[in-house]
Chain A
Amino acid sequence: MKNLSVAVLVLAALFVFPVTGPALAALQVDVTQGNAQPLPIAIPDFVASDPGQAAMGAQIAGVVRADLDRSGLFKSIDPRAFVERITNINVAPTFASWRAINAQGLAAGQVEVLSTGQIRVSFRLWDVFGESQMDGRILTTQPNDWRRIAHQISDFIYERVTGEKGYFDTRIVFISESGPALKRVKRLAVMDEDGANPIFLTRGEYMVLTPRFNPTAQMIAYMSYIDTKPRVYLFDLETGKQEMLGNFPNMTFSPRFSPDGNKVAITLENGGNSDIYVMDLRSHQMTRLTSDPAIDTAPSFSPDGRQIAFESDRGGSKQVYLMNADGSGQHRVSFGAGENGTPVWSPRGDLIAFTKQHGSHFTVGVMRFDGSGERMLTNAYHDEGPTWAPNGRVLMFNREAQNGRGSQIWSVDVTGRNERRVMTPGDASDPAWSPLLK
């Protein structure tokens, strides 16, 4: 699995008409409001320079529409309502005809095939009421990477309109589940953020759990029961090789990379007791961070790498704790109702997502890193194991049905709105979101 590459150029604005005054700042979305009022945007099928590319032009626009709709911040307008037909993206559109269908944004694009066999996709984002170009890009890649171009265009539009980085050109590593409830087969798998291109990385002859991406999205740390010995492994997506992380006589589990990718925090069990360690991937040196006789597990680094949140029952109930990256200054931060675990630091650094347990009821929520401002985002029977989109605005998690009726991946906005099921091939659990791909 090679690192795919897409070349991006900025497409110069068209200076063909005067900029009008008052409506200039019209096209923007406040991401902190969730999907309270999604922005209507028109995205016609991309124009094809030759008829053979018409299908790809339609597919790319379709993926962009689906991406933006899924965010809950945009509402793509049904193309059947369009009045004007875009035939050349280098000519300014007739804005009145887009205002007539209440489009506030218009993203028009075209697809060309180059003599090298690559495809070149250009698009312009227009502020329909401000009658101005907001963004314009040219993206070039191999034809079979057309979905990545579509996701990158979605990211450009999302960023230009919300002021925040997007998260569509990303991947999800997860556990694919199949078989009866008492004999589940669990396989390591990756897919695009929208569920496309699922790839199975293990065959299911041994159980795998809790996969996590490294910061370049090229390496996955996960736990595997190869030879019925539960240990943390590293899977290199570039080479397809997997290797055990260290060589320990006992169970290692709950891996998570440091933000610089040079270390992995893990839990090591010894004589029944579980403590948190950090392994330096270059020197393979292990540093012990906790030594409490209680259970310490599920470590997660802060984005600056200076602190680690973790789950412990040292105070008599399972709660979220914090420590410095060297293990000093361990203290409890969750004091809300019930028990709280699996803390995961937001890439923005402002919030910690976690799993709250009330008896048999599990929900996913967020709190500030000092434990204040606790807010639950979901309310089902069993939601567990949150993971953040790289922009810190959306989370995915694992939703298990009652009575062993299976597990699915869902997403929810950090505002608690826009809860959606994520498309997976069959049942799935333990999602982990990659950073934006390079």
Chain B
Amino acid sequence: MNRISSSVKFTVLAAALLMSACTTKPQATNTAPPPASPPPMAAAPQTSSIIPGSEQDFKVNVGDTVHFALNQFNIEDADRGTLQKQAAWLAKYPAVRLTLEGDCDERGTREFNLALGARRANAIKEFLVAQGVATGRLETVSYGKERPVCTESNEGCWAQNRRGVSTVTGGATS
């Protein structure tokens, strides 16, 4: 019993950490200090502050970002799991629509990177469609090198910028 409750507590904490890292408006319930004594099992649904089928649910519990190698647009093996989860989630919430954004690092001309970003966004789209997601639920957009998430001119940063981001643009539970 003791072991179970400590593992429950861990799950709750991890979710809270993810929440604060990924959202601009943390829910008040997550900022409250955890109770001193192990909470009874009934307290576990603290995770329900993330509404299933919501944008947050997608971001936190599914994962919205995949990464690409330099000048490449093929889906890396490491990212297939994320996209499979995205497809499964879309199957569960059939009203949801996604915008798939393709981004590049700074090592390409502005024009070429717009084209490369479109390739990346489209590669994600093709993967999701192959998983059974209807094409009409997916829109693509390329931002080339115009939307970096990291500004250092080194590989660590470039790797973060070469990415595809799936954003819920409609049909989510709120």
Contacts and interface: CB of A to CB of B under 8 A. Distances in A.
B118 interface: yes
B133 interface: no
B37 interface: no
B10 interface: no
Contacts of B114: 209, 223, 230, 251, 253-254, 267, 274, 297
B119 interface: yes
Contact of B148 (A182, A223, A267, A295): A182
A384 interface: yes
Given A251-B141, A272-B123, A403 B115 contact: no
Interface in A140-188: 181-182, 184, 186
Given A295-B116, A298-B111, A272 B121 contact: yes
Interface string A209-226: 110000000000001000
A272 B122 contact: yes
Contacts of A318: 108-109, 112
A359 B107 contact: yes
Interface stretch (B60-68, B87-95, B149-157): B149-157
A182 B149 contact: yes
B53 to A, nearest CB: 23
- Chain A interface size, as a band, is 35 or more
A311 B111 contact: yes
Interface string A366-402: 0000000000000001101100000000000000101
A207 B111 CA distance: 14
The CB with the most chain A CB atoms within 10 A, among B71, B109, B119, B152, is that of B109
Given A228-B141, A403-B152, A341 B123 contact: no
Nearest to B126: A272
Interface residues of B, number: 30
B143 to A, nearest CB: 8
A209 B151 contact: no
Given A271-B122, A272-B123, A404-B148, A384 B115 contact: no
A404 B146 contact: no
B111 A272 contact: no
Interface in B139-166: 140-142, 146, 148-153
A207 B146 CA distance: 9
B106 interface: yes
Nearest to A381: B153
Nearest to A275: B115
A71 interface: no
The CB with the most chain A CB atoms within 10 A, among B116, B141, B148, B153, is that of B153
B110 interface: yes
Given A274-B115, A295-B112, A385-B110, A269 B142 contact: yes
Nearest to A184: B146
Contacts of A403: 151-153
A341 B151 contact: no
A400 B146 CA distance: 13
A18 B109 CA distance: 59
Given A184-B146, A209-B146, A251-B142, A269 B118 contact: yes
Contacts of A210: 110-111
Interface in B53-86: 71, 73
A380 B164 CA distance: 30
A195 B69 CA distance: 40
The 10 nearest A-B residue pairs measured at CB: A272-B122, A404-B151, A274-B115, A298-B111, A254-B111, A295-B115, A341-B109, A181-B151, A269-B118, A402-B153
Interface of B: 71, 73, 99, 106-112, 114-116, 118-119, 121-123, 125-126, 140-142, 146, 148-153
13 contacts: A182-B150, A186-B146, A223-B114, A269-B115, A272-B122, A295-B115, A311-B109, A341-B112, A360-B106, A382-B106, A384-B109, A404-B152, A404-B153
Given A230-B141, A272-B140, 18 more contacts: A251-B114, A254-B114, A267-B114, A269-B118, A269-B142, A271-B122, A272-B123, A273-B119, A295-B115, A297-B112, A297-B114, A297-B115, A298-B111, A342-B109, A360-B106, A382-B106, A402-B153, A403-B153
